[in-house]
């Protein structure tokens, strides 16, 4: 259950505490932003997208955990929050499963020599032009 | 003056805490759908980035990192002020709540103003895909096609957030809503989510290809 | 745990029913009562059902001749597209959830309304706005892209009003999402005391699972259509191959929604028939827990199989492998459910009222549809039958033979509750049988000609397929009769039907413990639940035969 404690004006945090407590988190987020921006100009090579996205993910975790109060939320709310993320993982992995394997061209199977598309197979053209036709179709013209 | 007399729970809710819990939960469910909405867009971007890394790096360089970074700073700050609003609402500090909500919306409007300046700058640099597109290679047009959609959809979401925040601030100021209204938390969650999207978009759009 | 079902108090004489609380049109259009909103939706989807039906009627008349007698190619394309768009998004996806779901879900869990009643009303208005865009597109001559909006045809070359059609579907998607958010929150937060998760009726579980799918899948459709609109209207190159764009990317995004969409269309149907079988066999549902797990499994695994629509589109062979395997897996929970329904019927005290006839029709037709889905999941077979009538027959067996049958089952089952009237049982049974016969006459020949190579979306075809097309068209005419009959006798019953008692079927479930029609706030006091669902008979005993007399009625005898 969401334990939003019902502070009264007397018993609860003062305005100053609210500003300071959240200001510290704000500083952390701005610092990470600064690092991300600065590192964009450094030549870190291939690690660059990982670094930038990694920093973004850390910022998001801080934002979700502290500003969106997931740290104090019920397990149900947290489940809701991660479900969207999980579904994105499903979408990305299966979609990239297509795109990253498009050039494989039957490698690892017996059809590799007949692979087409990028002409990777040494037989070159589409298999049905090279393999013999089934008997009922007679000789190839 | 206390708001106690005005605390009523709307049907069908059996109690106020339950209603508040449900409002927060319902907004999280909606945010899951929003994550998929933007996620589909980012998936499209990711696919093309993997297919055309060089072109995307060139195209990224053309984005205006000054405006983009200012906007990131603005939005992070707006999340800060929105959290202040939420905690003020929990503590029933009415004036602080209204101030924080208005400040948040103001920062959001500032973001949109900067965005409009940036769009004008992009148009001047002929970065709208079409007949006079600035960059030679084909896939850079894909980058910018997605850029306009991504930032545009985000800006629309932000504008809606500003409207909701101002409406809430007005409702609390005119005492149509109590200061610990069950509407504060969902609107804040929505706002933070829009900020989250921007943080990710910033890393994807503005930062690549710089050195 | 005793079988004493409920503890609550009812003040029948003091309460108006929901139909009497406000007689003006404005009271209906501004009502946040979930029951009235369910009826508003019912009127809207009925309208679109007949629009979509008329479109396909014209198609089927055209197809009786192999030479394309009275439609041009373009007109034909626009008609089948209209049929697909209207039937999927404006009829099937909303059908059971927004009508029966809206009406019954709060009552079944013992709540006074859904979690966000104003959002519920807003969702109906969003539907209406989306429908307005779709009708605009129809009046502008329609779209010829197929309901699947494939790029680059839809973005670059089509001459129809793609933007209006896509915008209509985009908007109505948010109605779906709103309904989903509402239902999920309602089930989590508003269950009556004692209504634990595993005491929920399976219809509620079905609504819950459907809502999860609606919330997570629909936004991806929305984005895919937004990108189509951006490309076509604003000129943003996204799927244009000349710029390096990949049309298959559109298909990935589109089918990421559209495959789970078929589960949005079938899960509610599964919920309805579970209720109907239990009642008319006087049996607890066999394997309740497995039925729940199966529905949740269908909802989740259904997200992993979308590539089976793209086996021949240009996807990689390895992706084909993975999607094919996962598509076989997703059939397993559906099969478990079919076995459990059959086991529910076994040694039950079965009576053949109209809802039961429709539900039995569902059982057989859904099974045929599901089995043929397995053929399609197999890549070598799909390579031959993709884009043929085999596919059309497969999905119509599930969507029409399955979902529409179940919708009618639910409509008849809960009609006394919703309207307080009894429909004519004789006419209803007749209509159910006519529908079953008409349906099979329409779609079984389509399996045969599809396997023989008849392509879909063609109105000029080789003459050897004509005999099957004629059979199919005659069946369509029979179906038209079967769908019109309920419109007539159900409307008649509204005015002249005998008044129904609270529980004419002697069914279990909280909705039957309140009056027919229900009072505005459903229950005078929130009930407390102490029993499992479907307590038709004690746990380890066979059911006793119900006293088989005519439907109970208030104050009159037959």
Residue A100's closest chain C neighbor by CA?
C316
Which chain A residues have a beta carbon less than 8 Å from that of C260?
none
C316: nearest CB among A90, A91, A98: A98
Which chain B residues have a beta carbon less than 8 Å from that of A59?
199
Q: Is A62 inside a domain boundary?
A: yes
Which structural domain, as residue segments, surrounds residue A42? 15-68
Which chain A residues have a beta carbon less than 8 Å from that of C247?
none
Choose from B32, B40, B49, B136 for mutation: most chain C CBs within 10 A.
B40
Question: In terms of pTM, does the model score above 0.80?
Answer: yes
Which chain A residues have a beta carbon less than 8 Å from that of B204?
53
Q: Which chains does chain C touch, 3 or more C-beta pairs < 8 A?
A: A, B
B33 — contact with chain A (CB < 8 Å)?
A: yes
Which chain C residues have a beta carbon less than 8 Å from that of B38?
223
Residue B83's closest chain A neighbor by CA?
A67
B76 — contact with chain C (CB < 8 Å)?
A: no
Distance between CA atoms of A66 and C130, rounded to whole angstroms?
38
Q: Which chains does chain B touch, 3 or more C-beta pairs < 8 A?
A: A, C
- Return the bridge partners of C388, or none: C455
Q: Tell me what pLDDT residue C545 has.
A: 57
- Are A90 and C304 a contacting pair at CB < 8 A? yes
**Phi/psi at C421 (nearest 5 deg)?**
-125, 155
Q: State the burial class of residue A127 (Cβ atoms within 10 Å of its Cβ: 0-12, 13-18, 19+).
A: middle
Interface residues of C toward A, Cβ cutoff 8 Å, are 188, 216, 220, 248, 252, 256, 303-304, 306-307, 315-319, 322-323
Q: Is A33 inside a domain boundary?
A: yes
Find the length of chain A.
141
B142: nearest CB among C219, C222, C244: C244
- Are B35 and A84 a contacting pair at CB < 8 A? yes
Which parts of C346-404 fold into alpha helices (H)?
A: 354-377, 379-385, 389-396
B44 — contact with chain A (CB < 8 Å)?
A: no
Q: State the burial class of residue C473 (Cβ atoms within 10 Å of its Cβ: 0-12, 13-18, 19+).
A: buried
Instruction: Say if residues C108 and C203 touch (Cβ distance below 8 Å).
Output: yes
Distance between CA atoms of B133 and C486, rounded to whole angstroms?
59
- Are A98 and C216 a contacting pair at CB < 8 A? no
- Are C303 and A87 a contacting pair at CB < 8 A? yes
Which structural domain, as residue segments, surrounds residue B196? 39-205
Number of domains in chain A: 1
Furthest C-alpha separation in chain B: 67
Choose from A94, A99, A109, A117 for mutation: most chain C CBs within 10 A.
A94
DSSP secondary structure letters along A4-36? -----TTTS--HHHHHHHHHHHHHHHHHHHHHH
B30 has a pLDDT exceeding 70: yes
Q: Is C366 inside a domain boundary?
A: yes
Q: Is A49 inside a domain boundary?
A: yes
Q: CB-based contacts of C5: which residues, under 8 Å, 6+ apart?
A: C508, C513, C529, C530, C531, C535
Tell me the pLDDT of chain B averaged across its residues. Answer: 91
SS3 C7: strand
Closest of C265, C274, C267, C271 to residue C203, by C-alpha? C271
Angstroms from C239 CA to nearest CA on chain B: 8
Q: Is B169 inside a domain boundary?
A: yes
Q: Is A133 inside a domain boundary?
A: no
Closest of B57, B138, B128 to residue C244, by C-alpha? B138
- Return the bridge partners of C553, or none: C500
Instruction: Say if residues C524 and C10 touch (Cβ distance below 8 Å).
Output: yes
A19 — contact with chain B (CB < 8 Å)?
A: yes
B22 — contact with chain A (CB < 8 Å)?
A: no
**CATH number of the domain to which B127 belongs:** 1.20.120.80
Number of domains in chain C: 1
Distance between CA atoms of B174 and B177, rounded to whole angstroms?
8
Distance between CA atoms of C13 and C499, rounded to whole angstroms?
16
**CATH number of the domain to which C329 belongs:** 1.20.210.10
pLDDT cut 70: percent of chain B above it: 94
Distance between CA atoms of C15 and C11, rounded to whole angstroms?
7
SS3 A140: coil
A104 — contact with chain C (CB < 8 Å)?
A: yes
Distance between CA atoms of C16 and C35, rounded to whole angstroms?
14
Q: Tell me what pLDDT residue A111 has.
A: 67
Q: Is A121 inside a domain boundary?
A: no
- Are A104 and C323 a contacting pair at CB < 8 A? no
Sign of CA dihedral C179, C34, C262, C205: positive
Residue A95's closest chain C neighbor by CA?
C252
Which structural domain, as residue segments, surrounds residue C66? 34-529
Q: How many CA atoms lie within 13 A of B98 on its CB side?
A: 12
Distance between CA atoms of C110 and C522, rounded to whole angstroms?
8
- Are B199 and A56 a contacting pair at CB < 8 A? yes
The 3 state secondary structure assigned to C32-55 is CCHHHHHHHHHHHHHHHHHHHHHH
B41 — contact with chain A (CB < 8 Å)?
A: no
Per-residue pLDDT of chain A (141 residues; tens, 9 = 90+): 333 444 445 567 888 889 999 999 999 999 999 999 988 888 777 778 888 899 999 999 999 999 988 988 999 999 999 999 999 999 999 999 999 888 776 666 676 666 655 444 444 444 444 445 455 655 544
Residue whose token pair is 């596919």: C391
Packed helices B94-124 and B184-205: angle between N→C axes, nearest 10 degrees: 30
Q: Tell me what pLDDT residue A121 has.
A: 46
B57 — contact with chain A (CB < 8 Å)?
A: no
Range of weakest confidence among B134-138, B162-166, C116-120, C385-389: B134-138
A10 — contact with chain B (CB < 8 Å)?
A: no
SS3 C6: strand
DSSP 8-state class, residue C529: E
Q: Is B31 inside a domain boundary?
A: no
Which chain B residues have a beta carbon less than 8 Å from that of A26?
76-77, 79-80
Which chain B residues have a beta carbon less than 8 Å from that of C227?
41, 44, 149
Taking only residues 84 to 143 of chain B, the set having a beta carbon closer than 8 angstroms to any beta carbon of chain C reads 129-130, 138-139, 141-142
Closest of A59, A33, A27, A46 to residue B65, by C-alpha? A33
Task: Give me Rg for the CA atoms of chain C.
Answer: 23
Distance between CA atoms of C317 and C322, rounded to whole angstroms?
9
Q: Is B11 inside a domain boundary?
A: no
- Are C252 and A95 a contacting pair at CB < 8 A? yes
B91: nearest CB among A2, A7, A37: A7
A76: nearest CB among C188, C303, C322: C188
Q: Spell A80-115 as b/e; 16+ CB within 10 A means b.
A: bbebbeebbeebeebbbbbbebbebbbeeeebeebb
Residue C315's closest chain A neighbor by CA?
A98
Low-confidence stretches of chain C (pLDDT < 50) are 1-14, 548-558
Q: CB-based contacts of B26: which residues, under 8 Å, 6+ apart?
A: B186, C115, C116, C181, C182, C184, C185
SS3 C67: strand
Q: Is C519 inside a domain boundary?
A: yes
Taking only residues 74 to 133 of chain A, the set having a beta carbon closer than 8 angstroms to any beta carbon of chain B reads 74, 76-77, 80-81, 83-85, 87-88, 91-92, 95-96, 99-100
Q: Tell me what pLDDT residue C544 has.
A: 63
Residue C219's closest chain A neighbor by CA?
A84
B50 — contact with chain A (CB < 8 Å)?
A: yes
Q: Which chains does chain A touch, 3 or more C-beta pairs < 8 A?
A: B, C
**Phi/psi at C527 (nearest 5 deg)?**
-70, 160
Angstroms from B210 CA to nearest CA on chain A: 6
B52: nearest CB among C181, C244, C526: C244
A101: nearest CB among C216, C252, C318: C318
**Phi/psi at C6 (nearest 5 deg)?**
-140, 160
DSSP secondary structure letters along C393-428? HHHHIIIIIIIIHHHHHHHHHHHHHHHSB---HHHH
- Are C256 and A91 a contacting pair at CB < 8 A? yes
- Are B92 and A8 a contacting pair at CB < 8 A? yes
Instruction: Say if residues C207 and B12 touch (Cβ distance below 8 Å).
Output: no
- Residue C222 vs residues C252, C254, C302, C408: alpha-carbon distances, Å: 13, 9, 18, 29
B93 — contact with chain A (CB < 8 Å)?
A: yes
SS3 A56: helix
Range of weakest confidence among B9-18, B126-135, C58-67, C135-144: B9-18
Instruction: Say if residues C41 and C102 touch (Cβ distance below 8 Å).
Output: yes
Number of domains in chain B: 1
Q: Is A125 inside a domain boundary?
A: no
B199 — contact with chain A (CB < 8 Å)?
A: yes
SS3 C498: coil
Angstroms from A106 CA to nearest CA on chain B: 20
B200 — contact with chain A (CB < 8 Å)?
A: yes
Give CA C553 to chain center in angstroms.
30
A139 — contact with chain C (CB < 8 Å)?
A: no
Q: Is C437 inside a domain boundary?
A: yes
């Amino acid at each position: 259950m969401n334990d939003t404690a019902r502070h009264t004006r007397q018993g609860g945090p003062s305005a100053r505490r609210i500003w300071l407590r959240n200001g510290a988190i704000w500083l952390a987020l701005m610092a990470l932003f600064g690092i991300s921006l600065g590192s964009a100009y450094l030549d870190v090579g291939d690690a660059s997208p990982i670094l930038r996205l990694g920093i973004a993910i850390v910022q998001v975790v801080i934002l979700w955990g502290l500003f969106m109060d997931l740290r104090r939320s019920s397990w149900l709310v947290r489940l809701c929050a991660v479900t969207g993320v999980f579904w994105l993982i499903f979408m990305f992995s299966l979609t990239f499963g297509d795109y990253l394997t498009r050039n494989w061209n039957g490698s690892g199977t017996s059809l590799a020599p007949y692979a087409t598309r990028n002409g990777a197979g040494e037989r070159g053209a589409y298999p049905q032009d090279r393999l013999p036709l089934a008997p009922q179709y007679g000789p190839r013209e | 003056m206390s708001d106690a007399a005005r605390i009523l729970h709307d049907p069908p809710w059996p109690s106020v805490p339950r209603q508040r819990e449900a409002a927060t939960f319902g907004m999280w469910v909606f945010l899951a759908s929003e994550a998929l909405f933007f996620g589909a867009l980012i998936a499209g971007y990711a696919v093309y980035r993997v297919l055309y890394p060089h072109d995307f790096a060139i195209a990224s360089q053309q984005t205006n990192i000054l405006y983009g970074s200012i906007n990131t700073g603005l939005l992070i700050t707006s999340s800060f002020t929105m959290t202040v609003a939420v905690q003020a609402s929990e503590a029933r500090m009415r004036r602080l709540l209204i101030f924080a909500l208005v400040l948040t919306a103001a920062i959001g409007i500032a973001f949109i103003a900067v965005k409009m300046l940036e769009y004008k700058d992009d148009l001047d640099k002929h970065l709208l895909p079409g007949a006079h597109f600035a960059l030679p290679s084909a896939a850079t047009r894909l980058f910018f096609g997605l850029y306009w959609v991504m930032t545009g959809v985000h800006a629309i979401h932000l504008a809606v957030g500003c409207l909701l925040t101002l409406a809430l601030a007005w409702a609390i100021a005119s005492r149509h809503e109590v200061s610990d209204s069950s509407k504060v938390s969902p609107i804040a969650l929505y706002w933070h989510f829009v900020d989250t999207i921007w943080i990710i978009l910033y890393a994807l759009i503005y930062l690549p290809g710089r050195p | 745990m005793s079988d004493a079902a409920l503890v609550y108090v009812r003040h029948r004489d003091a309460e108006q029913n929901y139909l009497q609380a406000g007689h003006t049109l404005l009271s209906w259009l501004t009502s946040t009562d979930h029951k009235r909103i369910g009826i508003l939706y019912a009127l809207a989807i009925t309208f679109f059902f007949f629009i979509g039906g008329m479109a396909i009627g014209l198609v089927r008349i055209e197809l009786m001749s192999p030479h394309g007698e009275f439609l041009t190619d373009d007109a034909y394309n626009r008609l089948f597209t209209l049929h697909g768009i209207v039937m999927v998004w404006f009829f099937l996806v909303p059908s059971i959830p927004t009508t029966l779901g809206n009406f019954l879900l709060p009552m079944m869990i013992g709540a006074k309304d859904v979690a966000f009643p104003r959002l519920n009303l807003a969702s109906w208005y969003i539907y209406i706005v989306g429908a307005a865009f779709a009708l605009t597109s129809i009046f502008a001559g329609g779209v010829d892209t197929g309901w699947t909006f494939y790029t680059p045809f839809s973005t670059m070359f089509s001459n129809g009003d793609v933007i209006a059609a896509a915008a209509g579907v985009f908007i109505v998607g948010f109605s779906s999402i709103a309904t989903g958010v509402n239902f999920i929150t309602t089930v989590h937060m508003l269950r009556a005391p004692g209504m634990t998760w595993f005491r929920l009726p399976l219809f509620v579980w079905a609504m819950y699972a459907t809502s999860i799918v609606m919330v997570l899948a629909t936004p991806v459709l929305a984005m895919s259509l937004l990108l189509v609109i951006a490309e076509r209207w604003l000129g943003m190159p996204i799927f244009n191959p000349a710029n390096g764009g990949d049309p298959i990317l559109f298909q990935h995004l589109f089918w990421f929604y559209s495959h789970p969409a078929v589960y949005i269309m079938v899960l509610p149907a599964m919920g309805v028939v579970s209720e109907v079988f239990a009642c008319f066999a006087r049996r607890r549902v066999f394997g309740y827990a497995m039925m729940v797990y199966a529905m949740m499994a269908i909802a989740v695994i259904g997200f992993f199989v979308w590539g089976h629509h793209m086996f021949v589109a240009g996807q990689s062979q390895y992706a084909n492998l993975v999607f094919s395997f996962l598509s076989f897996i997703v059939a397993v929970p559906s099969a478990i459910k079919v076995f459990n329904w059959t086991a529910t019927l076994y040694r039950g005290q079965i009576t053949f009222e109209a809802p039961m006839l429709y539900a039995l029709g569902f059982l057989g037709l859904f099974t045929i549809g599901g089995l043929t889905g397995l053929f399609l999941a197999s890549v070598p077979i799909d390579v031959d039958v993709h884009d043929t009538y085999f596919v059309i027959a497969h999905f119509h067996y599930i969507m029409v033979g399955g979902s529409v049958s179940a919708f009618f089952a639910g409509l008849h089952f809960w009609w006394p509750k919703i309207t307080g009237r009894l429909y004519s049982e004789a006419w209803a049974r007749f209509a159910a049988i006519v529908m079953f016969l008409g349906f099979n006459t329409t779609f079984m020949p389509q399996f045969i000609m599809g396997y023989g190579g008849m392509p879909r979306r063609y109105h000029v075809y080789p003459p050897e397929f004509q005999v099957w097309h004629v059979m199919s068209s005659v069946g369509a005419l029979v179906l038209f009769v079967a769908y019109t009959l309920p419109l007539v006798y159900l409307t008649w019953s509204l005015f002249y039907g005998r008044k129904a008692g609270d529980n004419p079927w002697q069914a279990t479930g909280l909705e039957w413990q309140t009056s027919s029609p229900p009072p505005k706030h459903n229950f005078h006091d929130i009930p407390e639940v102490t029993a499992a669902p479907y307590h038709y008979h004690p746990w380890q005993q066979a059911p006793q035969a119900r006293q088989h007399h005519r439907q109970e009625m208030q104050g009159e005898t037959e």
